[in-house]
Amino acid sequence: MDQAQIDALRARPIAPQKHLIGGDWVDASDGATMDITSPIDGRVLTTMARGTAADMDAAISTARTAFEDRRWSGQAPSARKKILHKWADLIEANALDLAVQGVRDNGTEIGMAFKAEPGSAAATIRYYAEALDKVYGEIAPTQSDILGLIHKEPVGVVGAIIPWNFPMMIGAWKLGPALAMGNSVVLKPAETASLSLLRMAELAFEAGLPPGVLNVVTGEGAVVGEAMGLSMDVDVLVFTGSGATGRRLLEYAARSNLKRVYLELGGKSPNVVFADAPDLDEAAKVAAAGIFRNAGQVCVAGSRLLVEEEIHDDFVAAIVRAAQAMRVGDPLLTDTHIGAVNSEAQLSQNLQFVKTAKAEGGEIVTGGNRVLAETGGTYMAPTVITGVTADATLSQKEVFGPILGVTPFTDEAEATRLANGTVYGLAGAVWTGSLSRAHRMVQEVRTGVMHVNTYGGADGTVPLGGVGQSGNGSDKSLHAIEKYINLKTAWIKL
Ligand code: NAD
């Protein structure tokens, strides 16, 4: 990546943002707007539409019309595939611009954002473009005078609500399979990360997606998100975000049309390091990256370090070295390792977790504080806290910030017990030289993804989904497609 190019892109003014409904840019029905503030320096970048419930209803009804007249699902699979590939081409052609806009909005360091946002989004759209004409119906093995067909049909209108940490990547995880299967979509991005998603959606229309098939409504979760949740006309609701919002969405579904709700929620993922790990220095570096990149604002972040007692002190020293070697700062500088925390609210929540950990007996061995306050941005030093007990707040509650809690264990049984000792089950890792132990831990730790001798980086060929209070259903891979289709039986008497 070229720093001069990034600097030129960051200097560009950003026009006021509107909803994208029916292929047109539209204001909120009451004209209201909200500021988009950059976590890099606390300055207002522009404004966006502060949506109303009426705006959300209009977008849903537009999506319904687009679905009913089959302007998208009625096209040949080869035509739909071509449009989705073109969309991925355009995302790639605009990758740096998209990444910089996204970083100005949400603060992720550009190195990570470039790869994880436009890079991953384009790859996801391509994956489902390729998949869409390989999803076959079935013929049931039933009696000889009957033909039992199982059709796989689009569900209709999909509502998608996404968080602020990786809007394009997570947006594409929903949009790719939903659109590939012929559905219409209304998407609501997060208040603090809508810019890049809006531009990415605009590119879909440049690629030839018919108007109304994808609609984006911005604004507050409690207003437009709630309206989507309570809609009688959304068939499937897919969500990534916090458990608290996930619970609300289930209630909304129960209070409205019993829409199917899929939740990708938070985690408190254990990173378990045994003394027999092949390369402890490498493990320390990867573990540090696994919690501190994007300022810890990664759902699968390895936020609980469980380390075998005999290597505890050495391993903590190695992690602290790795943490201190990571440069925190302006996320648009290519040599920054850790960018900004997404918002003042998130930063003060992080600092409150540090306070609580201290009060509960934890020792802060590095970090624990806000840094670079003079920039006006929201930055936090990578933080390592030792002496964190299994029932401490830091072991039990998701922080979603650059804070690692360390807990020692004495044997495999204790490690497994600790690993499973939360309500979550999103991700985890085991570092060991023993193949048998690695397989045992993969079997016994209750998570959606378990890494062995690495952390993070699982690509689009494998599913990501939580168990327990980390959610249900999966994003990514062919398995994600199941969320966006209905099975319909045709029972034909011959
Ligand atoms: P959040 O739940 O506060 O917000 C997520 C989205 O929900 C936003 O668009 C928000 O506007 C909307 N929302 C808020 N209140 C709503 C309501 N009452 N009705 C409808 N929508 C509403 O979460 P966040 O702070 O943006 O994201 C962080 C959370 O997301 C963390 O818990 C993190 O672990 C989780 N996450 C999970 C995954 C995964 O794949 N499992 C990936 C990334 C993030």
Residue 1 pLDDT exceeds 90: no
Cβ–ligand 1 distance for 227 under 6 Å, the answer no
Domains by residue range for the chain, with CATH: 3-265+471-491 (3.40.605.10), 270-459 (3.40.309.10)
Using the mean position of ligand 1's atoms as its centre, give its distance from the Cα of residue 141 in Å. Answer: 43
CA–CA distance, 318 with 279 (Å, rounded to integer): 12
Cβ–ligand 1 distance for 182 under 6 Å, the answer no
What atom of ligand 1 comes closest to residue 252's alpha carbon? 19
Q: What is the pLDDT of residues 349-388, one digit of tens each?
A: 999 999 999 999 999 999 999 999 999 999 999 999 999 9
CA–CA distance, 118 with 235 (Å, rounded to integer): 28
What atom of ligand 1 comes closest to residue 398's alpha carbon? 32
Cβ–ligand 1 distance for 464 under 6 Å, the answer yes
User: Token pair for residue 27?
Assistant: 């204001």
Q: What is the pLDDT of residues 306-339, one digit of tens each?
A: 999 999 999 999 999 999 999 999 999 999 999 9
Q: Is the pTM of this model over 0.95?
A: yes
What atom of ligand 1 comes closest to residue 228's alpha carbon? 20
Cβ–ligand 1 distance for 253 under 6 Å, the answer no
User: Token pair for residue 308?
Assistant: 């075998």
Per the DSSP assignment, residues forming a β-bridge with 23 are none
Find the mean pLDDT for residues 444-463.
96
Using the mean position of ligand 1's atoms as its centre, give its distance from the Cα of residue 342 in Å. Answer: 13
Cβ–ligand 1 distance for 190 under 6 Å, the answer yes
pLDDT band at 264 (very low <50, low <70, confident <90, very high): very high
Using the mean position of ligand 1's atoms as its centre, give its distance from the Cα of residue 371 in Å. Answer: 26
Q: What is the 3-state secondary structure (H, E, C) of 26-77?
A: ECCCCCCEEEEECCCCCCEEEEEECCCHHHHHHHHHHHHHHHHCCCCCCCCH
Return the active site residues: 264, 299
Cβ–ligand 1 distance for 64 under 6 Å, the answer no
Mutation to probe ligand 1, out of 48, 124, 161, 344 (largest number of atoms < 8 A from CB):
161
What atom of ligand 1 comes closest to residue 188's alpha carbon? 9
Q: What is the pLDDT of residues 197-241, one digit of tens each?
A: 999 999 999 999 999 999 999 999 999 999 999 999 999 999 999
Which residue minimizes the CA distance to atom 8 of ligand 1? 190
